[in-house]
C-alpha cells in the first residue's frame, strides 16, 4: 500500500509540474506569473508537491484497495493499477476544475472548426472524459502483460495498511502546517503550491481549522489573522475610525473617515456639444508615445494629436485589471458608490451614445457597472465570434481584431453623415493584450513575432518588439477611425485616449499586468484633444469623468494644466476587499506596500520615502464608506 501511495504521489507530481509549466510557466516565467521558480525553489517545490500528493493519495488508497480486492480475476497488476487510478482521478479532477481545463479544451476544439455549435464547457468535459478513459484502457491492457510478482512490492497486507493510515495521518496534519510555514517565509512559493488542486484544498482546510474566532481568516493564507482569538480584528476587517482599535493591523487605528464628496455627480448642462470619441486601449503602455523602433515611431497618430495641441501628461490606472479600471473611468468612483456613468451624462445632454468594443463587456458585469447597456448603440466581441482572434470564447478571453472594430465604427458612421445630433462613442481596442500577436496584425514594426511557446524571460527583447508592433497597429486603428469620422461627419471629434492599464514586459521579471505596481504596469497614456480641460497631473482613471464634465461645462476655450509634485494617485493589487498591495503613484515615481511581505519599496523617484501610510489610510476609508453603503442597503 505504501508503494501505491508513493506511485500515485510521484505520477501526480510529475503530471502537475508539466501541466503547471504549460499553463502558468512556473519554472521559466510567463504571463501573469511574477514569481516563477528557479534554482533551489524548484527542489523545494517538488519535495512539497510530493508531500501534498502523498497526503491526498493516503486519503483514497485504503478504500481504493478495498474496492478492488474482490476483483481477483483481474490479476494483481490490474487491480493495483485500478486502485492507483481511483486515487489519482479525484486529485487531478480538482486541478482540472480549478484551472478550467474542460472549458479551454472545448474552446480549442471549436477554434479548430470542430463542433462549433456545441457548448464549449460541455464539449471540453466530454473530450476530457473520452481521453482519460482511452488512456486508462490502454494502461489496463498493458498491465495485463505484467507478471504479478513484479508488482508485489506495491502491496504488503494488513501491516502495510496500518502504516499507510499512520503515514496518511501525519501527512494530512502536516500539509496545512507546511503551507502555513512556507507562506510566512516564501509567499511566492506558497502561491505555486496553492495552484495545485490539492494544495488549494489543504490550504482551505488549514484556514478553516485555524480560524478559531470564525472571522473568515486563519493562519495559512497571507496575510494571516493577526488576532486569531478576536473576531473584530483580521487583515480584511473594516478599520472603524477613532475607536482605539486597529482592526486590520496596519499602521494603527484610522483617525477619521474619508471625504468622498468628489464622487458626487449631479446633473449638468453642457455649454458645448462636440462629438466625443473615448478610446480605451487595452494593455497600452504610456511609453509607446515616445518609443522608436528602428527609427520609426510606435504611435505616430497619437503623437500627431499631441503635436497639434492635445493635452497629455502622467496618468495612472488605480487597478491593474480591465474591469475595475473601466468602472473607475466611467463612474468616476473608487468606492463603487456612484451608480450612473459617463454614458448617462451624455444621454442627459442630448447625445447619441454608442459603444463599440473589441472585448466581451459582459465580463465582470462591466457593461452594467459602466452604463454601457444604456447606450443607444452597442456592439462588442460577442457579436463577432467567428472573427475572433482569441482561441477561447470565455468572457474574460474573448477578443476581436482592430480591423473588425474599425469596420464596425465605419458602419456606425454610414447613416450619420448629415445627423446634427452630437455623438459620444466609446471604442475599445484589444490588440496589445497577451500574447501580443495574432494573424490580423500587420507587420508595421516587426515581421518576426514571437511564438506563444517562445514567450519566456529569456526572449524578453523579442517579446517587446512583438508588443510594439501590436501597439503600432492599435495606433493605426485610431488614425483610421479619426479619418473616417472627419470624412463621414465633416468635422473632427473631440478625442480622449486612455489605457485600462499598462503591461510589464520583463523589466522587473514580470510579464503582464495586475500582478504588481510599477511604471510599466500602471502608467497609461492620457490624451485630450478638442476640449478645454482644467487638469492637474498626475491623474487617475477615476478623474476622467470629472475632467470631461468640467470641459463640457466651462465657458473658456483654453486648457489649463500643471504638474503637482505632491499629488498622488491611489493604486492597489487584488480584490478591493483585501488588496495584496497598496500604492501611491506620483508624477515621477511611486511607493508600494506589500501586505504579504510586510515591506515597502519604491519605483522611479517619488518625492517622499517610506513609510507612506496615506495609501493604506485611503483604502481603510474606502472600506468604511463601502460598509456604510452596505448597511444603508440592508436598512
Measure CA 144 to chain center.
47
Q: Which of 185, 210, 235 marks a domain boundary?
A: 210
Based on the fold, state whether residues 179 and 288 are members of the same structural domain.
no
Written as nine digits, the cell of 20 is 503547471
Contact 533, 550 (CB under 8 A): yes
Tell me what pLDDT residue 175 has: 92
CA dihedral 442→447→450→452, nearest 10 degrees, is 40
For residue 518, pLDDT over 50 is answered with yes
For residue 229, pLDDT over 50 is answered with yes
Contact 339, 348 (CB under 8 A): no
576 in a domain, yes or no?
A: no
Written as nine digits, the cell of 373 is 447597456
Based on the fold, state whether residues 353 and 479 are members of the same structural domain.
yes
Tell me what pLDDT residue 602 has: 95
SS3 496: strand
SS3 158: helix
Measure CA 146 to chain center.
48
Nearest to 53 by CA among 2, 9, 6: 9
Based on the fold, state whether residues 196 and 282 are members of the same structural domain.
no
Q: How many residues does the chain have?
A: 635
Based on the fold, state whether residues 206 and 303 are members of the same structural domain.
no
Based on the fold, state whether residues 439 and 547 are members of the same structural domain.
yes
Looking at residues 560-576, what average pLDDT do you find?
Answer: 95
- Percent of the chain at pLDDT above 90? 62
Measure CA 248 to chain center.
25
Q: Which of 548, 563, 578 marks a domain boundary?
A: 563
Tell me what pLDDT residue 45 has: 93
- Percent of the chain at pLDDT above 70? 85
- Beta strands at 423-429 and 276-281: parallel, antiparallel or unpaired: parallel
Tell me what pLDDT residue 635 has: 43
Contact 497, 279 (CB under 8 A): yes
Cβ neighbours of 569 (radius 10 Å): 25
For residue 116, pLDDT over 60 is answered with no
Tell me what pLDDT residue 52 has: 93
Average pLDDT value over all residues in the chain: 87
pLDDT band at 40 (very low <50, low <70, confident <90, very high): confident
Write out the H or E segment, with its range, that includes residue 120: helix 120-143
Nearest to 511 by CA among 455, 559, 439, 553: 455
238 in a domain, yes or no?
A: no
248 in a domain, yes or no?
A: no
pLDDT band at 629 (very low <50, low <70, confident <90, very high): low
What would the pLDDT profile of 284-307 be if each residue is shown by its tens digit?
999 999 999 999 999 999 999 999
Q: How far apart are CA 238 and CA 91, in angstroms?
A: 37
CATH number of 321's domain: 3.40.720.10
Q: How far apart are CA 333 and CA 340, in angstroms?
A: 10
pLDDT band at 572 (very low <50, low <70, confident <90, very high): very high
Q: 99-109: buried (b, 16+ CB within 10 Å) or exposed (e) per residue?
A: bbbbbbbbbbb
Tell which wins on pLDDT, 521 or 577.
521
Residue 67 to residues 60, 86, 628: CA-CA distances in angstroms? 11, 9, 55
Q: Which of 210, 239, 266 marks a domain boundary?
A: 210
List CB contacts of 536: < 8 A, sequence separation 6 or more: 561, 562, 563, 564, 567
Based on the fold, state whether residues 417 and 554 are members of the same structural domain.
yes
Looking at residues 240-253, what average pLDDT do you find?
Answer: 93
What would the pLDDT profile of 434-443 be if each residue is shown by its tens digit?
999 999 999 9
pLDDT band at 50 (very low <50, low <70, confident <90, very high): very high
Based on the fold, state whether residues 393 and 293 are members of the same structural domain.
yes
Is cis: bond before 435, omega within 30 of 0? yes
Tell me what pLDDT residue 632 has: 46
20 in a domain, yes or no?
A: yes
Q: 349-373: buried (b, 16+ CB within 10 Å) or exposed (e) per residue?
A: bebbbbbbbbbbbbbbebbebbbbe
Written as nine digits, the cell of 617 is 489610510
Tell me what pLDDT residue 394 has: 81
Based on the fold, state whether residues 292 and 438 are members of the same structural domain.
yes
Looking at residues 268-287, what average pLDDT do you find?
Answer: 97
For residue 192, pLDDT over 80 is answered with yes
Based on the fold, state whether residues 361 and 455 are members of the same structural domain.
yes
pLDDT band at 633 (very low <50, low <70, confident <90, very high): very low
- Beta strands at 352-357 and 423-429: parallel, antiparallel or unpaired: parallel
Residue 76 to residues 5, 81, 152, 326, 521: CA-CA distances in angstroms? 16, 8, 8, 60, 57
Q: The domain containing residue 59 runs over which residues?
A: 2-210
For residue 389, pLDDT over 70 is answered with yes
Based on the fold, state whether residues 316 and 425 are members of the same structural domain.
yes
Looking at residues 601-620, what average pLDDT do you find?
Answer: 93
Based on the fold, state whether residues 56 and 170 are members of the same structural domain.
yes
611 in a domain, yes or no?
A: no
pLDDT band at 146 (very low <50, low <70, confident <90, very high): low
CA dihedral 601→604→606→608, nearest 10 degrees, is 30
Q: How far apart are CA 291 and CA 481, in angstroms?
A: 22
pLDDT band at 155 (very low <50, low <70, confident <90, very high): low
Written as nine digits, the cell of 300 is 505616430
631 in a domain, yes or no?
A: no
Question: What's the structural domain count of the chain?
Answer: 2
The neighbouring-strand residues paired with 279 are 427, 497
pLDDT band at 109 (very low <50, low <70, confident <90, very high): low
Nearest to 25 by CA among 506, 502, 449, 397: 506
455 in a domain, yes or no?
A: yes
Cα 88-47-105 angle, rounded to 5 deg: 45
Contact 572, 584 (CB under 8 A): no
Tell me what pLDDT residue 90 has: 78
Based on the fold, state whether residues 135 and 283 are members of the same structural domain.
no
231 in a domain, yes or no?
A: no
For residue 609, pLDDT over 60 is answered with yes
Amino acid at each position: 500500500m505504501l508503494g501505491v501511495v508513493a506511485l500515485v504521489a510521484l505520477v501526480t507530481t510529475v503530471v502537475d509540474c508539466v501541466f503547471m509549466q504549460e499553463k502558468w510557466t512556473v519554472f521559466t516565467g510567463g504571463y501573469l506569473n511574477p514569481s516563477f521558480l528557479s534554482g533551489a525553489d524548484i527542489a523545494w517545490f517538488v519535495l512539497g508537491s510530493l508531500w501534498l500528493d502523498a497526503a491526498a493519495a493516503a486519503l483514497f488508497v485504503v478504500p481504493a484497495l478495498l474496492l478492488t480486492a474482490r476483483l481477483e480475476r483481474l490479476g494483481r497488476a490490474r487491480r493495483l493499477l485500478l486502485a492507483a487510478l481511483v486515487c489519482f482521478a479525484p486529485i487531478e479532477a480538482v486541478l482540472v476544475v480549478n484551472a478550467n481545463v474542460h472549458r479551454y479544451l472545448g474552446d480549442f476544439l471549436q477554434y479548430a472548426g470542430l463542433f462549433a455549435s456545441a457548448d464549449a464547457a460541455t464539449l471540453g468535459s466530454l473530450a476530457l472524459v473520452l481521453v482519460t478513459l482511452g488512456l486508462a484502457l490502454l494502461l489496463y491492457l498493458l498491465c495485463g502483460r505484467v507478471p504479478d510478482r513484479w508488482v508485489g512490492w506495491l502491496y504488503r497486507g494488513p501491516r502495510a495498511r496500518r502504516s499507510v493510515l499512520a503515514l496518511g495521518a501525519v501527512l494530512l496534519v502536516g500539509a496545512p502546517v507546511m503551507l502555513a510555514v512556507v507562506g510566512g517565509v516564501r509567499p511566492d512559493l506558497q502561491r505555486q503550491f496553492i495552484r495545485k488542486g490539492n494544495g488549494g484544498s489543504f490550504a482551505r482546510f488549514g484556514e478553516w481549522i485555524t480560524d478559531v474566532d470564525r472571522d473568515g481568516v486563519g493562519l495559512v493564507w497571507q496575510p494571516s489573522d493577526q488576532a486569531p482569538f478576536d473576531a473584530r480584528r483580521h487583515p480584511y476587517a473594516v478599520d472603524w475610525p477613532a475607536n482605539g482599535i486597529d482592526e486590520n493591523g496596519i499602521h494603527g487605528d484610522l483617525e477619521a473617515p474619508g471625504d468622498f464628496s468628489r464622487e458626487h455627480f449631479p446633473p449638468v448642462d453642457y455649454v458645448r456639444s462636440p462629438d466625443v470619441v473615448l478610446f480605451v486601449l487595452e494593455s497600452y503602455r504610456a511609453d509607446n508615445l515616445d518609443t522608436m523602433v528602428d527609427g520609426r515611431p510606435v504611435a505616430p497618430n497619437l503623437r500627431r494629436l499631441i503635436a497639434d495641441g492635445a493635452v497629455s501628461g502622467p496618468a495612472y490606472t488605480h487597478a491593474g485589471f480591465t474591469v475595475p479600471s473601466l468602472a473607475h473611468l466611467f463612474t468616476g468612483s473608487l468606492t463603487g458608490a456612484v451608480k450612473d456613468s459617463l454614458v448617462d451624462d451624455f444621454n442627459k445632454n442630448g447625445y447619441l451614445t454608442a459603444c463599440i468594443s473589441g472585448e466581451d463587456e459582459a465580463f465582470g458585469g462591466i457593461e452594467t457597472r459602466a452604463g454601457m447597456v444604456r447606450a443607444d448603440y452597442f456592439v462588442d466581441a460577442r457579436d463577432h465570434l467567428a472573427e475572433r482572434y482569441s482561441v477561447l470564447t470565455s468572457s474574460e478571453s474573448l477578443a476581436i481584431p482592430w480591423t473588425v472594430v474599425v469596420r464596425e465604427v465605419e458602419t456606425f458612421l454610414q447613416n450619420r453623415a448629415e445627423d446634427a445630433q452630437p455623438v459620444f462613442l466609446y471604442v475599445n481596442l484589444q490588440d496589445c493584450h497577451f500574447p501580443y500577436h495574432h494573424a490580423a496584425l500587420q507587420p508595421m514594426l516587426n515581421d518576426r513575432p514571437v511564438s506563444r511557446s517562445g514567450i519566456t524571460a529569456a526572449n524578453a527583447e523579442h517579446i517587446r518588439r512583438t508588443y510594439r508592433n501590436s501597439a503600432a497597429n492599435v495606433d493605426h486603428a485610431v488614425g483610421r477611425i479619426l479619418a473616417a469620422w472627419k470624412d463621414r461627419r465633416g468635422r473632427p471629434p473631440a478625442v480622449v485616449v486612455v489605457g485600462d492599464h499598462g503591461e510589464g514586459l520583463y523589466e522587473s521579471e514580470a510579464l503582464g499586468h495586475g500582478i504588481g505596481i510599477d511604471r510599466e504596469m500602471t502608467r497609461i497614456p492620457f490624451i485630450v484633444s478638442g476640449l478645454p480641460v482644467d487638469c492637474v497631473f498626475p491623474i487617475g482613471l477615476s478623474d476622467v469623468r470629472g475632467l470631461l464634465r468640467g470641459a463640457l461645462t466651462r465657458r473658456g476655450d483654453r486648457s489649463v494644466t500643471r504638474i503637482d509634485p505632491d499629488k498622488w494617485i491611489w493604486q492597489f493589487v487584488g480584490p478591493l476587499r483585501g488588496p495584496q498591495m497598496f500604492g501611491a503613484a506620483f508624477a515621477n515615481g511611486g511607493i508600494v506596500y506589500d501586505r504579504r511581505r510586510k515591506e515597502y519599496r519604491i519605483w522611479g523617484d517619488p518625492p517622499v520615502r517610506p513609510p507612506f501610510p496615506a495609501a493604506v489610510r485611503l483604502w481603510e476609508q474606502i472600506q468604511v464608506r463601502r460598509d456604510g453603503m452596505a448597511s444603508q442597503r440592508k436598512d
